[in-house]
Structure formats: structure tokens, C-alpha cells
Amino acid sequence: MLNSKQFKGFYLSIICFHYDILAVHPNITREINKIQDRYIEFLELNARVILCTKGKSMDIYERAKVLRKSRFSNVDIPLIVDDGGVLMRSVFKVCPNNCKCGIKNILLFEDNGVVFSKFHLLTGYEMDVDFLIKSIKIKQSIKNGTFDMMYL
């Protein structure tokens, strides 16, 4: 695990090209605010999808809304806003290697810093049916290019 003082912009900008989703945990606000804005910009502009919350960390939500433009085009990055915490909690669980969810790499902000690990959106563990259906719909709409913004 890396803490915010260990970030290097060049390293971060390279590694973020390999991640499809930026997931921001609602309890990480203070840690994120310690990181220089250009690093956050690298993260968000290189992500294919931004996951965040509308809960206590409204500044994260507002920043994500502003920085949704793709680095290489004017296309908005999809923003998934989770009000209930179900999606965010599920993202924390690591997928088994044989997971076929189709959304492979997620950069996950966690409470104590940043975890550079490969996560999957569909984990198959401890999920309710409604969440599973929503996840499949998200996956399909991203694949079909119809995904824009979804409030879960």
C-alpha cells in the first residue's frame, strides 16, 4: 500500500493507463486532499469510468463531475454515483482469477491510502440479486457504448 506522500506523478500517470475504473471510497476525502491536484487529474482523466459517492464526501463527487473529460478527447468519462454504499462495498472484494465480468482493472482508493491492485466489479461474493442485475447492465452498456451516467 502506498501513502499519499509516496506518489510520483510520472509513475502514477503511467500506471493509470492500465486501469479501467477509478473507485473513490467515501472515507478517503482527507487523504485525497493531501495529494496534489495534478495527480488526481491523472487518475480521473485516465480512468474509463469514475466511481464515487454522493454521501459525506461531496467534494469528491463535485471534483469527479468536473474532471470527467477524457484526456484524449472531449468525451465525458462515465460517472457512477452510489448513494447506498452497496456498490462501493462490493468493489472492495477481489474477484477470483476466473471471473468473466469483462471489467477488469479498477484503481481503488481505500481508507488508509491507495491500493494498486486489480479488482473486478462483479465479484460473485455476498451480492444481492438486484446489485448483480445492475452490475450486468452497467457492464453491457459500457460494452455497447451506451453508458453515460447512472445513479444507483
pLDDT tens, 21-67?
A: 454 444 444 444 444 444 444 444 445 555 554 444 455 556 556 55
Per the structure, the complete domain to which residue 31 belongs is given by 4-151
How many domains does the structure of the chain reveal? Answer: 1
Q: How far is CA 120 from CA 21, 54, 96, 126, in A?
A: 9, 22, 9, 14
Q: Which helix (H) or strand (E) holds 116?
A: none
Instruction: Give dist(CA 117, CA 102) in Å, integer.
Output: 16
More confident residue, 8 or 74: 74
Instruction: Give dist(CA 150, CA 122) in Å, integer.
Output: 17
Q: Are 22 and 50 spatial neighbours (Cβ–Cβ below 8 Å)?
A: yes
| Chain length of the chain | 152
Residue 73 has pLDDT above 50, yes or no: yes
Query: pTM of the full predicted structure?
Result: 0.30
Amino acid at 106: I
Q: Can you tell me the mean pLDDT for 64-71? A: 56
Q: Are 141 and 147 spatial neighbours (Cβ–Cβ below 8 Å)?
A: yes
